Structure 1
Amino acid sequence: MAGAGTDVRVTRGEDGTIRVAAGPVLGHIEVCDDVAAAGPDFTRSVLDVAGAVLVWPVLGESGLPVAEIHDAGRAQQWLWAVYGERVAAAVHDAAAGEPAGAHVMTETSALAGAAARLGYGHWAARWWPASYPDGIPVLEPDVLGLEFAALTHRCQQLFDDYGDQPDDCVAELIEEHRSALAPLLQWWRATPQPADTARHLDSVLRLIDDAADCAGLDGTALRRLRSALDEGPDHGRTVTPAGPAALFARQVGYALAAGDPLVAGGRVIARGSGTNDWRRYPPGFIDAAEHAVSWTARALGARRQIEVEVVAHVAAPTTGAPLAAEVRVNGSRPLRVPLGRRDDVWTGRADVDLTPDPSAATSAPPRIEVGVLLPGFDPGAGPEARADRDAIRALARRRLAGAAQPVADDVYDGVAGPFLAETLAATATSEDY
């Protein structure tokens, strides 16, 4: 997290949007990456708050966010708590039409740290690179959702009652993920476990209880939570030698789905790997491995056919998902190949024209490019981002490696500390995901 010596700049765009951006000052050299514009979507965490959007870089230090403020009046309720009173005053002046471009020195606040953590959590729910071949386990969605609820409640100053902030949904999160409350309580009462994990569990459960009470929620699971918190973790203390992951064990068998099985035969012309661009489909569809997309081109008599196989995410839907492969030959217009899930892969095939590449100096094999997308969701192919995807995988591995290590008492005020779902994932075996 950024500390004392953070230089915050307040500027106003031609459209009236006010930007607040921060970076450390090293001597007279200003260091500030424009995280709102640089890099692919999956390298940034984003939080929609009252009157603004907050953005942090996922790769590197989180520090204070970049704020894109579209309603300075609504944003005043949290600006001072995130950036300090002088920044809030500078934003007020900019909104009133005074010359913008102010530089203000500020310190990081507790709300800024909690907001950065909540932003990272939303990023993880969308972009965590879960992959069986890469050895990166999935994050338990119900555990992640309940910690979202706790953090959103903790960060309630960032939100207001206008109803246009999709990230302010404490009651919905608790209702949607309340099935994880019972195993979370078992984990809270379990021994042995590190003291920092016990404190983390206690903090999350008490925030959920308070959030549910403020939202007027009720039900058996929430009443049991209140009773357990009143009694304390020693009441009903249990021993779980199998580890916490066993409390959240899921059935991950693959159901047979629509889609014809690929038929071997014919002469293999070429094989290759496609591009696995995470931005072209929603989370929970495709394994995040770089080589999750593969293809085989065959000659079947006079016909030429391409077969596509894509490793499925463990949570991928078995039916009803119109996932497709996009095939280009020699830079041609894309051919859409419908994919159906069968066991642990998405599969599909189609006849294609595989004439040699006319742009090559000599007769050369056709250039075949294959990607995967969900029509209607797909924003279109972006620039190649292999290095960024590798960096995200490295980040996930570092966080998993550190998830079981002791941490400082206040680490949960920043992104550095593991989420409960990351702690669970770090204890998982290959059979668990």
Structure 2
Amino acid sequence: MSWLTVDRTADGEVRVVPGTTPEIPEPATTRPVFAQAGLDVAGAVLTWPAPGDPGPPTALVHDGARAQQWLWALYGPQAAAAVAACADGRSGPVTVPAGPADPRLSADATRLALGLWAARWWPASDRDGIPAPPADLLGLELAALGHRCQQLFDGSGDQVDDSAVDLLDAHRAAIGPLLRWWRTADDRAQFAAPVPVPAQVEEVLRLVDALADLAGLDGPELRLLREEFDGAAPAGGPREGELSPLSGFGALFARPGGYALAAGGPATGAGAGAGAGAGSGSGSGRVIARGVGQCDWRRYPPGFVDAAEEAVTWTARAEGSGRRIEVEALAGAVVPADGVLLVAQVRVDGEPAGRVPLARRDDVWFGRADLVLPEAAAARIEVDVLLPGFGGSEDGPPAPAADREAVRTLARHRLSMAAGPVPYDSPARPFLAEIAATDAAEDF
């Protein structure tokens, strides 16, 4: 039997913590944001201790009345009553049995949290061979899941994860390729990798169609989808003027010009796979020190920098009596808007950090600056890359490397599942975007 502990925090919020015994659980160890999955729902924030964890989430409830619409379905009626009593001050800490709950809502909420985590923190890396799920396809799946999870939201506008309509509108470009995938899904000979159960593709398309109809969205992609389900489209095969089905379904989500929507494709710049001091920005002068910088994913937006642990490198050079540092970071798949520059924080022997602006050149971020080094013993040089003002993470200790490696392990595990058959009714089944990313990576 599963148990839930309900108590009130010092800030007046109500906390629901799952456990396996009716004892008050120990406080959970704080983990970096990129190592957790979460959902901002009506009156509360839900967090899973790890992305894809099938167990019930922890809830931090700041509005007990708004949360009642989903508490009973996610945790069971006794938990809902305990939260109401605790929020009103009628009860102190209490442990209640979990359930009976709605298993479908629980599974959908877990998948939605995992998908949103993947959209924000997937460790895409050319160097590590971890391709990124196609952004439009993942966004379309999240829109479908968000539609299924509407019980968690109340439309008040203060829940950042209640974005199913916005996701559909932003990622509607994936509808056409997904329709082509669905039409040819039964002809397995046309594909280079195992095809997922066609019902999974159809489910996403039907949910997207229902969501678009409910929200009053329109456009050529949505009309094409509506015609498909209204029976106006020809059964099977591409429409007149469309390309023939491609040899691998991952290629359906390729960028114009042939670049796949996956960071795992081959990099084209001189910085790809380069070590410290190599690449497009290499300078002259005698090398006096080189090393690997901090790669803390919290300090810049996802996709700006390759997620490999040694993506950031630096080289210190001597030119006459002067000293200079060059910093290089392997770029990710996201090309920032013009004028957006990363910076490298350079700290020597623990002194206040100086900053080196980094500009993107092909597949690397590169910058150089003069450096002051002590005359005597070898200096301890620390380099960290960040985007000024992003996420409030410029200060504080870096996240442990072990947490980043755990995330890479999870991504590799999910990609390995995506390469083979997974039961359709499994809550751990891969997203279509993960399957497409795996297939696209195999095409290179």
With over 3 angstroms needed to count, the CA separation of the structure-2 counterparts of 1:44 and 1:349, relative to structure 1, is: same
With over 3 angstroms needed to count, the CA separation of the structure-2 counterparts of 1:136 and 1:195, relative to structure 1, is: closer
With over 3 angstroms needed to count, the CA separation of the structure-2 counterparts of 1:327 and 1:317, relative to structure 1, is: same
1:395 corresponds in structure 2 to 410
Identity rate of aligned residues, in percent? 51
Match of 1:21 among 12, 17, 21: 17
C-alpha distance in structure 2 between counterparts of 1:167 and 1:208, whole Å = 17
Tell me the SS of whatever aligns to 1:47: strand
Tell me the SS of whatever aligns to 2:421: coil
Question: What is the aligned length?
Answer: 412
Most deviating of 181-190 and 241-250: 241-250
2:215 corresponds in structure 1 to 215
Contact 2:5 2:24 in 1 (8 A): no
1:23-42 aligned at under 5 Å gives the runs: 23-25=19-21, 34=27, 38-42=30-34
With over 3 angstroms needed to count, the CA separation of the structure-2 counterparts of 1:234 and 1:201, relative to structure 1, is: farther
2:349 corresponds in structure 1 to 330
1:92 corresponds in structure 2 to 84
Q: Deviations over 1:286-328 (max 9, x none)?
A: 0000000001100011110000110000223263212101111
Tell me the SS of whatever aligns to 1:139: coil
With over 3 angstroms needed to count, the CA separation of the structure-2 counterparts of 1:429 and 1:216, relative to structure 1, is: same
C-alpha distance in structure 1 between counterparts of 2:20 and 2:119, whole Å = 29
- Pairwise CA distance, 1:16: 1.7
Ranges in structure 2 where 5+ consecutive residues have no aligned partner: 239-243, 260-266, 271-278
Does 2:115 correspond to 1:121? Answer: yes
Tell me the SS of whatever aligns to 2:20: strand
C-alpha distance in structure 2 between counterparts of 1:157 and 1:217, whole Å = 21
C-alpha distance in structure 2 between counterparts of 1:34 and 1:174, whole Å = 38
Does 2:104 correspond to 1:110? Answer: yes
Amino acid at match of 1:132: D
C-alpha distance in structure 1 between counterparts of 2:324 and 2:26, whole Å = 46
Match of 1:404 among 397, 404, 419: 419
With over 3 angstroms needed to count, the CA separation of the structure-2 counterparts of 1:143 and 1:429, relative to structure 1, is: same
C-alpha distance in structure 2 between counterparts of 1:134 and 1:309, whole Å = 17
- Pairwise CA distance, 1:407: 2.2
Amino acid at match of 1:350: A
1:76 corresponds in structure 2 to 68
Contact 2:419 2:438 in 1 (8 A): yes
- Pairwise CA distance, 1:240: 4.2
- Pairwise CA distance, 1:172: 1.1
1:419 corresponds in structure 2 to 431
C-alpha distance in structure 1 between counterparts of 2:337 and 2:360, whole Å = 6
C-alpha distance in structure 1 between counterparts of 2:122 and 2:115, whole Å = 10
Contact 2:295 2:385 in 1 (8 A): yes
- Pairwise CA distance, 1:100: 2.2
C-alpha distance in structure 1 between counterparts of 2:75 and 2:367, whole Å = 52
Contact 2:292 2:310 in 1 (8 A): yes
Tell me the SS of whatever aligns to 1:428: helix
Tell me the SS of whatever aligns to 1:224: helix
TM-score by length of 1: 0.89
Amino acid at match of 1:424: A
- Pairwise CA distance, 1:234: 8.3
Ranges in structure 1 where 5+ consecutive residues have no aligned partner: 357-362
Amino acid at match of 1:208: V
Does 2:121 correspond to 1:133? Answer: no
Aligned-residue CA RMSD (Å): 2.4
C-alpha distance in structure 2 between counterparts of 1:60 and 1:418, whole Å = 11
- Pairwise CA distance, 1:34: 4.9
- Pairwise CA distance, 1:161: 2.3
Amino acid at match of 1:427: D
Amino acid at match of 2:435: T
Instruction: Please list every run of at least 4 consecutive aligned residues from structure 1 whose deviation after the TM superposition is greater than 4 angstroms.
Output: 30-35, 193-196, 238-241, 251-256
- Pairwise CA distance, 1:381: 4.0
2:197 corresponds in structure 1 to 197
Does 2:93 correspond to 1:101? Answer: yes
1:43-82 aligned at under 5 Å gives the runs: 43-58=35-50, 61-82=53-74
- Pairwise CA distance, 1:283: 1.1
- Pairwise CA distance, 1:279: 0.5
Contact 1:24 1:31 in 2 (8 A): no
1:160 corresponds in structure 2 to 154
Match of 1:243 among 248, 252, 274: 248
C-alpha distance in structure 1 between counterparts of 2:97 and 2:55, whole Å = 14
Match of 1:9 among 2, 5, 28: 5
- Pairwise CA distance, 1:127: 0.7
